[in-house]
Amino acid sequence: MSGDGAFNGFTGYGKAGRGALRHLEDDSEYRGAPVPFGQKELDELTALDARWAWVEVDQSAIRDNTIAARKAIRPGTRLMAVVKADAYGHGAIACSRTALASGADYLGVATVQEAVELRNAGITAPIALLAEPPASSVPLLLAYRIEPAVYSPEFALAYAETADAHNMKAPYHLAVNTGMNRIGVRAEDVVEFERQVDFHRALVQVGTFTHFATADCPESLDFEIQLHRFNEALSALRSAGIDPGIVHAANSASIFRYPQTHFDMVRLGISLYGFPACKEVRDAAVLRPAMSVYARITAVKNVPVGEGVSYGMNYRSPGSVKICTVPLGYADGLRRGLSGRCSFVLDGQYCPQVGNICMDQCMFEVDMRSRPGVARLDPQVGDKVVIVGRSGDAVVTISEMAHALGTIEHEVAIGFSHRMPRVQV
C-alpha cells in the first residue's frame, strides 16, 4: 500500500533536471551551443536516474506497526503518531497518511514548519506541537490549526490575545514537568499556572501531558516518581475544577511496557517505524522496520595484496578479494564511525565494509575464494547492494548500527539524509 495515493513505487523526491536549462543558455560559455535536450525530457529523469543510492520506506510496515500499537491499548484510547523530524527520516506526509488510515487519531510534531508541511499536503487530523514555539509563530498556529504545548504564561497570553482578536479559540496542551526537566510547568505548580492564564476566554485546554525520561531504562524508580507526580498534578487540576482534557504521557517504551501510563492518548514514535524502544519490550509486539537503504555498485576492482583502500589506508587488501565502491557516505548518514564495523549484503551474502567511509562513497570487500557451500559472488557495476534491510536470509539493521555507534535507533534513522531520494513502497 502507499500513503501517498499516487505511484506504484516511486515518489517523494524532486525531478533531477528541472529548471537548469534557461540558466545554462544564458551563460556565455554555452552561447551558440544550445542544450541538445528538451526540458521535458530532462524533467522525466528522476532522482534515481541521477543517483545510485536511495532510501526505501515500506508503508505496509508503518501500517502494521500502527495496528500493533492499537492492539496494545484499549479501544477508546487515542493514538498519536509522532511524525517529527520528517517521521524520523521516513517521510512525514506518507507516514502520516498511512498511520491515520491504520488507526492513529492525532499527529505529533516538534516544529511549526513540520505541521505546516502536513497541512499543505491536505492532512486535516489534529496536530499537536510537542513544544512551545516562539510567540511570533501564533498566526501560523491559528491559521493551520496547530495545537501547541504551553508552559509559559507569556506565550499563553500572547496566543490567547491574538486568537481572541480574530474571534478564534486557542487550543493547547498543558506541558507538565514531572522530572525530566526539559519543558513544562512543574507538577506542583499546575493549578497556580492555570489560575494565571485560565481567565482568558480564548484559551481551551484540549490536553495535559508529560514525558518520561526513563521509560526505556532497566530500572524503574525514576519512572515511578514521574508517574506519581503526574497523577498528583491531574488530581490537583480536577480538584480545582479544571478539566485537563486529553491526558497523555506514554512514548513507545511505555506504550508496550507500562499500560498504567496510557490515560486518554499515547504517543507512538520510534516503534511506529518498527523498533522496540528497549529490550524490556522486545517481545511485547511484532514490529517491522520500515526503512531500507540501498545503493548500486559504481566500481569493481581487484586490489593486489597489501595495497590500501580509502583515506588513511588502515585496511589492506588480503588479495583474492574484489573491492567494490558504492556511492554513499557519511554525508548521506552512513556514519564514519561505522568504518570497518558494518557489513552490506550482496545477493544474500554479507560483505564487510572496508576502509574509512568517505563523505560520498565507501567500499566493501567481496571474498573471491571458493568456499564449500557458499555461492561465489560475481559483483558487477550496477548491482544492487543492501546497506540497511534484508536480502534472502541476510539482514542488516539500524539497531545493530546504533549499537555499534553507541547511540539509539532514532539518531541513525534520522541521519539517512535527504540527499538520498526517498522511495515510498
Ligand X SMILES: *Cc1c(COP(=O)(O)O)cnc(C)c1O
Q: Which residues bind ligand X (CB under 6 A)?
A: 82, 84, 130, 211, 251-252, 267-270, 277
- Decide: 298 and 58 in contact? Cβ < 8 Å: no
Q: Please report, in angstroms and rounded to a whole number, the separation of the first and last CA atoms in the chain.
A: 7
Contacts of range 130-133, beta carbons closer than 8 Å, 24 or more positions apart: 130/82, 130/84, 130/267, 131/183, 132/175, 132/183
**Secondary element (H or E) of residue 398:** helix 398-405
Q: How far is the CB of 417 from ligand X (least distance, A)?
A: 19
CB-nearer residue toward ligand X: 51 or 78: 78
Q: How far is the CB of 250 from ligand X (least distance, A)?
A: 8
- Decide: 106 and 82 in contact? Cβ < 8 Å: no
CB-nearer residue toward ligand X: 288 or 296: 288
Q: How far is the CB of 269 from ligand X (least distance, A)?
A: 2
Reported residue count of the chain is 425
Q: Which of 13, 84, 172, 258 does the annotation list as catalytic?
A: 84
Could you give the maximum distance between any two Cα atoms of the chain, in Å? 81
CB-nearer residue toward ligand X: 197 or 270: 270
Q: What are phi and psi of 214, to 5 degrees?
A: -135, 25
- Decide: 148 and 136 in contact? Cβ < 8 Å: no
Q: How far is the CB of 411 from ligand X (least distance, A)?
A: 11
Q: Which of 30, 301, 311, 330 does the annotation list as catalytic?
A: 311
CB-nearer residue toward ligand X: 43 or 411: 411
Q: How far is the CB of 353 from ligand X (least distance, A)?
A: 28
Q: Coil, strand, or helix at residue 281?
A: helix
CB-nearer residue toward ligand X: 168 or 284: 284
Residues 405, 4: Cα–Cα separation, whole Å: 33
Residue nearest to ligand X (CB): 269
**Catalytic status, residue 84:** yes
Q: How far is the CB of 379 from ligand X (least distance, A)?
A: 37
Looking at the DSSP bridge assignments, the partners of residue 15 are 46
| 326: Cα separation from own chain's centroid | 24
CB-nearer residue toward ligand X: 211 or 262: 211
User: Any idea which residue has 529523469 for its cell?
Assistant: 45
**Catalytic status, residue 15:** no
Of 185, 180, 181, which is closest to residue 197 (Cα–Cα)?
Answer: 185
Of 67, 58, 64, 129, which is closest to residue 94 (Cα–Cα)?
Answer: 58
> How many beta carbons lie within 10 A of that of residue 26, not counting itself?
9
Active site residue ranges = 84, 311
